[in-house]
Amino acid sequence: MSFRNDAAPHAWSTRLLNADKDMDEDLGVSPPLHQSVNYAVLSQDHLDDISEPLGSHYYTRRGNPTSARLVKVIADLEGAETGMAFASGMGAIATTLMAFLKGGDHVVAQKNHYIGITEMIDRILPDYGVEATRVDQRSATAFEAAIRPNTKMIVLESPSNPLMHITDLKAVCDIARARGIITLCDNTFATPINQRPIEFGVDIVMHSVTKYIGGHHDLLAGCIVSSHALVEKVWNLSMVTGAIAAPFNSWLALRGIRTLELRVRQQNGNALAIAQRLETHPAVKQVFYPGLSSAAQHALAAKQMSGFGGLFTFDLKGGHDAGQSFMKKLRLARHASSLGGVSSTLVQPAILFGGRLTSKLVEEQGITPGLIRFAAGIENTEDLVADIEQALV
């Protein structure tokens, strides 16, 4: 089933429920879970047919019907041709980087990334002879200046973790495309409901499905979506690395994605309402949320996003101790490292990142002792605001 790629935002709910209808194999309104690892071969012709890359039904490491359904819905939302499901977001990013990079290559990335991507770029890739330069994502010219003759990929994330900085996706992709450089963008925080990087020229879009797409704090998965040619290259490597999604996790994610638009709409509204209240609160030094009209990059965010997401950060004047006190007093949001589910969660990045990143990297990413990263869930807006206000007393 196909839909217009320029569908208005109000059409997303319909697309989420119908993008995979042409894959129906029975009359169940809810798609079946294909838990089988092996699939019966009926003939040589049948073997040739089911052994094709990208969605083959021969052996689950090569492809699985349930995972194929999930990927089809995500690819439809992102405006991509196809994709792949992985065991985690890091499984998706690591396999993709390995598929396109080799010793002697160079990568341009951002100073602010999800912690796992930062570690991959700064610690893992150099061990395999891949050099990396990280730049301030708020400057498109910084990306251009960092490009070398051996630059093969630019890695993006917008909004970024944890300070919600925005990358000018079109400007950077124009620079990359003119030089034949592949662009890879982590769109986890925005979700395809709020932002579709392929529309701005991004080649490969990656998601930690664990977060907003799954949406219920109960699964681990990742995915990439792109053109058939690029995804097939990643698929070929995945046959060796094996970091593919478990069918049950794909089934849970497929269930979760059906309500993505409804959940994201509420999370967008909750984040904006809380950020606006915190902006004027005497205990708060600064709020980082691109949806605020006062945000330095608000105009750019509004240009490339239809919503600003459920994640924001704020810096408490009282520093580390104020952050600890705030989290202990909350009654609704839970202290938890992940995000994107129906329940609000929060962390103190200086503690979370401090154990994994060097002090230099923590400082470079602007992580202060009093910084709080808050991921709004789908709770009632007034209840969340009231709970935060009582915790700041």
Cβ atoms of 342 and 378 within 8 Å: the answer is yes
The pLDDT value given to residue 59:
82
Cβ atoms of 255 and 33 within 8 Å: the answer is no
Q: Is 61 a catalytic residue?
A: yes
Please, is 45 exposed, middle or buried when counting C-beta atoms within 10 Å of its C-beta (0-12, 13-18, 19+)?
A: exposed
Q: pLDDT, tens digit, for every residue of 332-348? A: 999 999 999 999 999 99
The pLDDT value given to residue 224:
98
Q: pLDDT, tens digit, for every residue of 68-124? A: 999 999 999 999 999 999 999 999 999 999 999 999 999 999 999 998 999 999 999
- Within a 13 Å sphere around the CA of 134, how many CA atoms are in the beta-carbon half? 16
What is this structure's pTM? Answer: 0.93
Burial letters 113-124, b for 16+ CB under 10 A, else e:
bbbbbbbbbbee
Q: Where are the alpha helices (DSSP H) in 89-227?
A: 89-100, 115-119, 125-127, 140-146, 169-178, 191-194
Confidence class for position 3, pLDDT limits 50, 70, 90:
very low
Question: Of 152, 211, 255, 265, which is the active-site residue?
Answer: 211
Q: Where are the alpha helices (DSSP H) in the chain?
A: 12-18, 44-50, 65-78, 89-100, 115-119, 125-127, 140-146, 169-178, 191-194, 228-241, 247-257, 260-279, 298-304, 319-329, 349-354, 359-364, 381-391
Q: Is 20 a catalytic residue?
A: no
Question: Of 114, 138, 255, 315, which is the active-site residue?
Answer: 114
The pLDDT value given to residue 297:
98
Q: Is 203 a catalytic residue?
A: no
- Taking alpha carbons only, the member of 271, 32, 305, 315 closest to residue 163 is 315
Q: Is 218 a catalytic residue?
A: no
The pLDDT value given to residue 55:
62
CA torsion sign, 179 to 223 to 244 to 51? negative
The pLDDT value given to residue 5:
44
Question: Of 105, 186, 315, 387, which is the active-site residue?
Answer: 186
- Given the structure tokens 């605001």, which residue do they identify? 385
Question: Which two three-digit tokens encode residue 51?
Answer: 């052994």
User: pLDDT at residue 133 above 80?
Assistant: yes
The pLDDT value given to residue 356:
61
For the chain, the average pLDDT equals 92
Question: Of 49, 58, 59, 61, which is the active-site residue?
Answer: 61
Cβ atoms of 86 and 223 within 8 Å: the answer is yes
Distance CA 128, CA 105 (A): 10
Q: Kindly give the interhelix angle for 381-391 and 319-329, rounded to the nearest 10 degrees.
A: 130
CATH for the stretch 260-391: 3.90.1150.10
Distance CA 246, CA 58 (A): 15
CATH for the stretch 9-257: 3.40.640.10
Distance CA 245, CA 346 (A): 27
Please, is 129 exposed, middle or buried when counting C-beta atoms within 10 Å of its C-beta (0-12, 13-18, 19+)?
A: exposed
Fold match flag (9-257 vs 260-391): no
Cβ atoms of 392 and 327 within 8 Å: the answer is no
Per domain, the residue ranges of the chain are 9-257, 260-391
User: pLDDT at residue 1 above 70?
Assistant: no
